[in-house]
Homo-oligomer: A and B are copies of this chain.
Amino acid sequence: MSTNKNCIVRISRYKNALNRLKSLGFVKVFSSNLADATGTSSAQVRKDFSLFGITGNKRGGYNVDDLIEQMNQIFGKHLVHKVVIVGLGNIGKALLRYKGFEKESIKVAAAFDIDSSKFNDDSIVPVYPLEKLGEFIKENEIKLGVISVPDVAAQQVFEIMKKSGIKGVLNFAPISLNNESGVVINNINLEMELENLVYYVIAAEKS
């Protein structure tokens, strides 16, 4: 299937829009409704649907619940996906309590840090020393990892993840990871986003 990130991002947006429309009482939607709610065209919506084999009675509109169910299948919502979080600074700690994981059927299996004061075997999410990361990933067959360590440590953590079988990484460290494997890395670079905003704000003030 020839899918790219933009296409999958659009499916995510359709799904979010559908959930909102559902909460407004919608039972049926047309491709043009979804196009309006997500800022794309009806033709694009139908093209994306056909690419992912999403079906429905187009003439009478799509059934909202059916569409949501089909999209949940695409995103594996019927399975629970385990994730490890490495690095319990401010961002890592916030992620430990982040409600959004549950919505994506993601369960935080464990967190890892180098600071022994953070280790905790009893809490709902155990916190282990970094040395145990590789072993834990293998034993628990974890496929998803979050990197929220400082930039200097990020590549090393990524190498351990890659070797142990992680397939998808959400990277918060402000660094581009060297990645010649098939691991998918999604970067969230807060510093770069902030820098970028400041640039536009300054430009707006000058003009």
Contact = CB atoms under 8 A, between A and B. Distances in A.
B182 A170 contact: no
B198 A81 contact: yes
Interface in A93-144: 93-95, 97-101, 103-106, 143-144
A59 B152 CA distance: 31
Interface string A180-207: 0010101010111111111111101100
Given A16-B174, A191-B100, A201 B143 contact: yes
B198 A8 contact: no
A193 B201 contact: no
A52 B188 CA distance: 25
Nearest to A13: B176
A80 to B, nearest CB: 10
A204 B100 contact: no
Q: How large is the interface on A (under 10, 10 to 19, 20 to 34, 35 or more residues)?
A: 35 or more
Interface string A23-64: 000000000000000110000000000000000000000000
Nearest to A186: B193
A74 interface: yes
Contacts of A196: 5, 8-9, 12, 186
B74 A199 contact: yes
A8 B199 contact: yes
Contacts of A2: none
Interface string A4-19: 0100110011001000
Given A39-B176, A93-B94, A100-B190, A184 B201 contact: yes
Closest 6 CB pairs of A and B: A94-B94, A168-B197, A184-B200, A90-B94, A168-B201, A100-B191
Given A98-B190, A104-B195, A167-B205, 14 more contacts: A13-B192, A75-B198, A75-B199, A76-B198, A76-B202, A90-B98, A91-B94, A91-B98, A100-B191, A100-B194, A144-B197, A168-B204, A170-B193, A184-B197
